[in-house]
Amino acid sequence: MGHGGNVIVELTADHRELEELFAQIEAQPVDHPRRRELADRLTAELVRHCVAEEMYLYPTVRKHVPHGAALADKELADHAKVEQMLKDLEDLRADDPQFNDIVAKLKFEVASHVREEEHELFPTLAESSSSDKLDELGRLVRRAKELAPTRPHPSLPNTPPANKLLAPGVGLVDRVRDLVSSRTTTG
């Protein structure tokens, strides 16, 4: 997940990638081990995406978008739900009956979040921000995704400054854990 462009282009490309990962999971037979690998990759991409939004997008929305505080609070609440579902999914085998239920609920939550961002938040952000600001946010979001955790951590702070201080360290630990466990986090 590092597509280039301004923040809206970057995050919209992430959304398409997440939709594709959901489709790939659904296309696999229930007992196929690839479903677990795809779920791990989906988890890593979603966590990185959420952390980057929490670090840079929502503080900007809060500051520069009309009614931005309410919008940012709603998105943060959505992220908390998604992150808890990812945590619930984390240790399930792909053939566990709960696996499909959680993936379906997660897909619904993410699709709803994507619609809200792409139809409400992004257009409002584009109207209230300069193209230079959107480009700068795109760079910051890409950098945040490189350092972000790859596993769900629902108890971590999701607003600055605490998340900007803690996320890179937690991300490093997650990447070491991923390496040691051979967990798939990239495509």
Task: Answer yes or no: is 131 within a domain.
Answer: yes
Task: Answer yes or no: is 172 within a domain.
Answer: yes
- pLDDT bracket for residue 150 (50, 70, 90): confident
**What number is the average pLDDT over the span 93-98?**
92
Least confident of 3-17, 98-112, 153-167: 153-167
Name the residue among 26, 29, 56 with its Cα closest to residue 143: 56
Percent of the chain with pLDDT over 70: 79
Provide the 10 A C-beta neighbour count for residue 20.
12
**What number is the average pLDDT over the span 102-114?**
97
Task: Answer yes or no: is 1 within a domain.
Answer: no
Rounded-to-integer distance, Cα 26 and Cα 155, Å: 29
At residue 22, the pLDDT reads: 98
At residue 30, the pLDDT reads: 85
Task: Answer yes or no: is 98 within a domain.
Answer: yes
One-letter amino acid at 33 equals: P
Task: Answer yes or no: is 59 within a domain.
Answer: yes
Residue 186 clears pLDDT 80, i.e. is over it: no
At residue 4, the pLDDT reads: 76
Runs of H (alpha helix) within 2-159: 7-27, 34-52, 58-64, 68-89, 97-116, 122-128, 131-147
Q: Which two tokens stand for residue 101?
A: 């239920």
**What number is the average pLDDT over the span 76-101?**
93
Task: Answer yes or no: is 38 within a domain.
Answer: yes
Rounded-to-integer distance, Cα 34 and Cα 114, Å: 25
Task: Answer yes or no: is 145 within a domain.
Answer: yes
Per-residue pLDDT reduced to its tens digit, 16-55: 999 999 999 999 998 788 999 999 999 999 999 999 999 9
Chain centre to alpha carbon of residue 116: 14
Provide the 10 A C-beta neighbour count for residue 10.
25
Rounded-to-integer distance, Cα 133 and Cα 6, Å: 8
Give the range of the structural domain holding residue 108, as residue numbers without chain letter. Answer: 7-181
Task: Answer yes or no: is 2 within a domain.
Answer: no
Residue 1 clears pLDDT 90, i.e. is over it: no
Per-residue pLDDT reduced to its tens digit, 128-142: 999 999 999 999 999
CATH code at position 74:
1.20.120
Residue 172 clears pLDDT 50, i.e. is over it: no
What is the domain count for the chain?
1
- pLDDT bracket for residue 178 (50, 70, 90): low
- Give the up-direction half-sphere exposure of residue 40: CA atoms within 13 A in the CB hemisphere: 21
**Is pLDDT larger for residue 21 or for residue 161?**
21
At residue 148, the pLDDT reads: 78
When the pLDDT of each residue in the chain is averaged and rounded to a whole number, the result is 87
